Every structure is written in structure tokens, then in C-alpha cells.
Amino acid sequence: MATFIDMPKLSDTMTVGTVANWLKNEGDAIESGDVIAEIETDKATMELEAFEDGILLKQIAKAGEQVAIGAPIAAIGEEGEEVEVPDAPKAKSKSSDDKDEKEEAKAEDKSEKSDDAKSEASSSDDSRIKASPLAKKLAKSEGVDLSSIKGTGPNGRIVKQDVLDAKKSGGSSKPAKSDSKSKPSVTLPGLAIAEDADLPVSSMRGVIAKRLVESKVNAPHFYLQIEVNAANLLATRAKINADLANVPAEHGGGIKLTVNDFILKASAEALRRVPTMNRSWQGDTIRQNGAVHLAFGVAIEDGLLTPVIRNAESKTLKQIALEAKELIGKARNKKLSPAEMSDSTFTVTNLGMFGISSFYGIINTPNAGILSVGATENKPIVNEAGEIVPGQIMTIGVSCDHRAVDGAVGAQYLQALKTLLETPALSLI
């Protein structure tokens, strides 16, 4: 009897997973421990191992398909064995489809407000085909013939994914009908910047949206900002990198420190000096964290990941730099494990490399705060002698959860961090 492989729960917040790629084809021999697919969760793309020996009889879920946790995605068994896919996946996928259809209907309702509803309803032969409103709209815009598509939705209804699959496979298509009657004629001065489209929300983007809304709604943010003279920091970094360039890798060379490495190290050290900033809101209690598990933002194509450097307060600048580099590589390749992204106590986000002078991040709850780092800019400053001289100013800000910390704590943290960044040698002690 065939063994079904179900969609596993690979993170605490995961409710559905997407089959990113199949690494084994139907008919391939499988041994226990073989990686048969890559699963995209809300946080990363992870490998899926088989725990059965046999033949991959059927790929129940297609590549790119989103499947609820616990729903079967593949079957392994004896060669030639028939596979009867249980009704359960249909039932589970139905709930997903229903959700999709509600979202599609919502999107369609919204778009209909701006379209000519009459022309939409009366002029298309596709109106007799069972398809969701969004599928019809997508087929029309992409020039895909709905009559050539077999729907996979409830009762054979064509859904958005069916249209996308048909287009991807080069299925039958027909020229899109002119919608000149339903849309106002607009003369554009040039080409459109992009094609109009309703983009699907990935699992990761959905979780990001949910968590950030929860943070802004539930955590009362307040914001503090301070300017840092980064001249010594930049000079120290340049000197260290120049020295390391002449040191063989086996003797500790072969590494180039970034400004962000110094900021991460100083942030952790400042939390050692002001431990009350290293707290977490837990509802009935406020947790004072004994170690600094430092998260930092890494922008990727689909969103933002926050890998965590654990026990950052006890690590050297070089250790933090090497660990950050490894975690950034994993994040960009979607290879971070859930353990590498969980249980942070403070977060650092940096947009200085984009030339952003100052901003405030949204708190990564339950952290009590998030540090926002801007670009270093050339500005006139007044030195200790009262003279106006050129300066290199970096603006840093902190967003604090007022449930867990007060303004004085945030201010003390920024003062400590300013001291460490303006005298970077203190972080090396």
C-alpha cells in the first residue's frame, strides 16, 4: 500500500507550504533520507526528506502549488502500484481554494468598481464557463482561452492558478479581446512602467504583513533619535581592513569588516551596558533577557528576513562579522532554519547603504525595541574648540515598545551606543 507524504509543519507560524521544486520525478527510486522536494514556508525554503524506501508513484501537489499542513503531497510505494489520492487533500485544498476564491472575489469586487461592469458582463463567451472572477479577468488580460483549461477548483471550476499554469505551459490561447469599450482611451507619453497585475501574496509576505500589523496595533511605539560622529568608526574600519588584507587567512586574515559589523557589535555591547533595553513583552510579565540574541534585517526578493546572532554580547567583532556573513548568505538562498530566525531579544535594521539618512523600524515583537541605522553623511559640526569643521554624521534611531520600556531607558541605550560608535576601540575590549 502506498505511503503518503504530507505537507510538514516547518515553522511555528506556518499554516500552508508551497512545493517550490520537485527534486525527484515520478518513477524515481527513493531511499529513506533522500531529499525529494524543496518546500517554501513563510520564512525559508527547506528541503523535504523521504522516510520511506520505494518508488515515487505520484507527485500529488504540483510545483508552485500551495498546500495546507497535513495534506498529502506525494505517494511512495511499490513499482506499478496504483495510487488513489484520498479525498482529504481535496477537502483541505478546498478550504484553501475557498479562501483563495474569497480573496479573488474581494479583489474582483474592488476592481469592478473601476471597470465598466456592463461590458464585462455581456460581451464575453467565457461567461458560460465555470471560472472564478479573478481567473476570468486574468485569462482576459493574458490572452488565455478559458475553454481550453480544465479547472481544478470545486466542481471543476477554473481558478487563478489554472490560468497561470496554462500560460506557463504555453497552452491554447487566443488574442485578448479589445476592451476599448470598457476602458477609457488614454494616450500615454511612453511605455507603462509595468504590466497591471494582481500579484499573489506569498506565505512569507502574508506573515510579514500579519506580524507588522499586530506590532503597530498592539505595541505602543515611541521613537528616539541621536546623531553619531562616525569619523573614528570609518577610520578604524579602514585601518583594520587594511591590516587584515596583509594577514594570511590561517592567521586570522581573509576577512573584510563592514560598517554593519561594527554596528551589530556595538549594539550588543550597548545592551550589556543598558540591559533594561534587552527585554521582551509577554503580556502578563516582562521578560528581562540574560543574553543578547541579536536579530538583523536582511532584504530578499520576497520580503525581509531577520536571522539571529545568539549570545552576541559575548562574541568578538570578528565572530559577529563571520556569523552575520554566513546568515546573510543563508537568508538570500532561503536556507535559514527556523531556529536561526527565532527567539531574538533585540533587532537592528540598516538602510544606510541605500542612502536613507534616518527612519524608524517597526518593532519585531516581543522585542522591546528595534534600532534603525541611517547613512553616514558629510555635515558641518562644531568641535570641542567651538569651531565649525567637516563631520561624518550617522543618524540612528530606536523604536521602543512603551509597554516594556520607558523613554529614559531608550535614551540611555542610544547614549551608550553613541559612545561605543564614536570610540569604536571600546567595542574591541
Q: Which residues are catalytic?
A: 402
Strand, helix or coil for residue 370: strand
Nearest-angstrom CA–CA distance, 341 and 293: 10
Nearest-angstrom CA–CA distance, 293 and 305: 15
Strand, helix or coil for residue 412: helix
Report CA-CA distances (Å) from 395 to 231, 259, 265, 302, 392: 13, 14, 17, 28, 10
55: amino acid identity, one letter: I
Continuous segment of H or E residues that includes residue 42: none
Give the E-state strand segments of 50-94 in sequence order.
54-59, 66-68, 72-77
